Amino acid sequence: MHGQTVEVIAQRILTGQFAEGSTLDITALQTEFDVSLTVLREALKVLAAKGMVDARPKRGTFVRPRADWSLLDGDVLRWQFARSAQPSLFEDLHELRGIVEPGAASLAAVRASEADVAALDAALAAMAAAGTDASAAVAADLAFHRALLAATHNELLVRMEVVIETGLAERDRMVHGALGTDDPVPSHRAVVDAIRARDPGAAASAMRLLLKKAFDDVARIGS
């Protein structure tokens, strides 16, 4: 498959190599990637679906303004980080988590079912069991935040997991396996305890504390 064609063009747009408003030279891209028009066309169709390009007869295929790009799309987020780390985007991402996740925790405290709490407990256990295995720790962390969003029983909130997922992946890449100074389990357990106690305010507070710790870790190690 020529799946990499999409990715390369996307990254050129995201990095500004293909500026907003500029028209793409289809023929040049065709010869560069050595693919048929159909292949290129389908790649551009994917980017069009994500609001990054638009095609009009006689005017050509051009890059849409950045304001129209689906930055909340999982693919777009990954493409952004794939080439080079973008500190500002990472900060935006963490900031969004800082808003969404405490709210989600609060909601989960009201809505969580027994099964939801069990899933959170399981993620907690996996986190404890991970120990020094960085990859397992990241997986458990992701499972925890996924379970939290699922516990809100709000489909749109659940889809925010693409943002959290990318944030965790990027954080993991930045700290490069270097674990946080202190055990992550207690801060996570505090969230679960608050949810089990059906205390929305406490759940939100615990989650804010958790996120602050996580971000401080990155700032310390990354600097």
Of positions 70, 113, 135, 181, contacts a copy of itself by CB under 8 A: 70
63 and 18 Cβ atoms separated by less than 8 Å: yes
**With binding defined as CB under 7 A, does residue 24 bind DNA?**
yes
Choice between 28 and 156, CB closer to a copy of itself:
156
**With binding defined as CB under 8 A, does residue 37 bind a copy of itself?**
no
State the binding partner of 2 from DNA, a copy of itself, none, CB within 5 to 8 A by kind: DNA
State the binding partner of 28 from a copy of itself, DNA, none, CB within 5 to 8 A by kind: none
**With binding defined as CB under 8 A, does residue 96 bind a copy of itself?**
yes
**Tokens 């516990």 sit at which residue?**
151
Contacts of 205 (CB under 8 A, 6+ apart): 102, 194
Of positions 8, 26, 35, 71, contacts a copy of itself by CB under 8 A: 71
Query: What minimum distance in Å lies between the beta carbon of 8 and a copy of itself?
Result: 16
**Alpha carbons 90 and 175: distance in angstroms, whole number:** 13
Count of CB atoms situated within 10 Å of the CB of 202: 18
Question: By CB neighbour count within 10 A (0-12 exposed, 13-18 middle, 19+ buried), where does 27 fall?
Answer: exposed
**With binding defined as CB under 7 A, does residue 73 bind DNA?**
no
Q: What is the CA radius of gyration of the chain?
A: 21
Interface with a copy of itself in residues 160-199 (CB under 8 A): 160, 162-163
Q: Is 53 helix (H, G, I), strand (E, B) or coil?
A: strand
**With binding defined as CB under 8 A, does residue 73 bind a copy of itself?**
yes
Choice between 49 and 85, CB closer to DNA:
49
From the list 177, 94, 79, 69, the residue with the least C-alpha distance to 130 is 177
Segment contacting a copy of itself by CB under 8 A, of 25-33, 117-125, 159-167, 179-187: 159-167
**Alpha carbons 199 and 112: distance in angstroms, whole number:** 11
**Alpha carbons 95 and 111: distance in angstroms, whole number:** 24
**With binding defined as CB under 7 A, does residue 35 bind DNA?**
yes
Of positions 57, 88, 156, 223, contacts DNA by CB under 7 A: 57
**Tokens 């700290």 sit at which residue?**
175
**With binding defined as CB under 7 A, does residue 28 bind DNA?**
no
State the binding partner of 56 from a copy of itself, DNA, none, CB within 5 to 8 A by kind: DNA
Site residues for DNA per CB under 7 A? 1-2, 23-24, 26, 35-39, 41-42, 55-61
